[in-house]
Amino acid sequence: MMPIPPATFGLIVAITLAYLVQLGSGLGFVLNFALWPLGTPPDLGPNVAAGTFQPWQLISYSFLHGGFTHLFLNMLALYMFGSELERLWGRRRYLTYWFVAVLAAGVTQIIVSASTGSYYPTVGASGGVFGLLLAYGINFPRRTIVLLIPPIPMPAWLFVIVYAGIELYLGVTGTQAGVAHFAHLGGMFGGWLMLRYWKRRAVVGR
């Protein structure tokens, strides 16, 4: 078994430690570091607190999670897809790609929240993970990936298309409430833009 590359390992450790701090901290931690919509918080009642948007939240939200299962699944995907991509790209390009996907997912969620009028915090590294998934499918299209539920093996390129289609369907229909499906798609889109940018630079540099 190959060791986990340093940047991927560092992200997993940092995100896990942030989750442990989140568990041991008060409400103020989430109010400050989760991603909140733009604008003034609505009056949610005397027993419900809402935070306000701050620029750092576009990154910090990805280090928080909504529970152990949420954290575990994201870290498993980060290990599976991120390790291979870091070996392919190197540490610097890999981290650049990760944070671009996270940022794009956050911006997408801000736009969606503004258009729907919802005022709920967003947490989780899923935007970055979906960006990695897209890059994995493009760079290793014939690798076999097995869905968790149901356990169906399929090539990586098909896995990406299926997952993107599911996220789009769930986001449009609102079938799975409480999940930032459009943020996941935003992470994919941000990753795609980054790949396009790198490809264009490579062509121009020839």
Mean pLDDT value across the chain: 88
Residue 194: CATH number of its domain: 1.20.1540.10
Residue 12 near residue 81 (C-beta atoms within 8 A): no
Mind listing the pLDDT tens digit for each residue in 84-113? 999 999 999 999 999 999 999 999 999 998
Residue 1 domain-assigned? no
Is residue 106 included in any domain, yes or no? yes
Write out pLDDT tens, residues 129-145: 999 999 999 999 999 88
Alpha carbons within 13 A on the beta-carbon side of 3: 5
- Tell me if 61 is assigned to some domain: yes
Kindly state whether residue 66 falls inside one of the protein's structural domains.
yes
What does pTM read for this prediction? Answer: 0.91
pLDDT at residue number 176: 58
Q: Which two tokens stand for residue 68?
A: 């152990």
- Residue 3 DSSP label: P
Find the domain containing 58 and state its range.
Answer: 6-204
Average pLDDT over residues 178-198: 91
Which residue did the predictor score with more confidence, 153 or 194?
194
* Number of domains the chain contains: 1
Report yes or no on 111 lying in a domain.
yes
| Least reliable range by pLDDT among 63-77, 91-105, 148-162, 182-196 | 148-162
| Structural domain contains residue 12 | yes
Catalytic residue list: 126, 184
Angle between helices 126-139 and 91-116 (to 10 degrees): 130
- Report yes or no on 94 lying in a domain: yes
Residues 6+ apart with CB under 8 A from 83: 2, 4, 5, 8
pLDDT at residue 94 in the model: 97
Residue 100 lies in a domain: yes
